[in-house]
Amino acid sequence: MSHTVHCVKLGKEAEGLSYSVYPGDLGRRIYENVSKEAWQMWLKHQTILINEHRLSPIEPRARKFLEQEMEKFFFGEGSVLPEQFVAPNK
């Protein structure tokens, strides 16, 4: 059963996530305040961060960095793409 949230990223009512996608307090906040659409936006953004910063998600420092960026992406000033990132031509 899906639920509706007022998405903090999109600023509108939208379909919420089906389950908590992240552990702890941050995961609870995401489940209660982030839509499926905004979560997909984060996953794309996170992939860029991982690739551009050459991160290994199994490393604790990389996980900490990604968690901080996730917090900023949804609840802060926004996570900024690396300066060197160039979007591919479609």
Question: Per residue of the chain (90 residues), what is the pLDDT tens digit?
Answer: 578 999 999 999 999 999 999 999 999 999 999 999 999 999 999 999 999 889 998 999 999 999 999 999 999 887 777 777 667 666
CATH number at residue 39: 1.10.3880.10
Range of the domain at 52: 4-75
Per-residue tokens: 35:
């839509």
Global pTM value: 0.86
Q: How far is CA 78 from CA 65, 70, 71, 89, in A?
A: 14, 8, 8, 24
Give the chain's domain count: 1
3-class secondary-structure state, position 13: strand
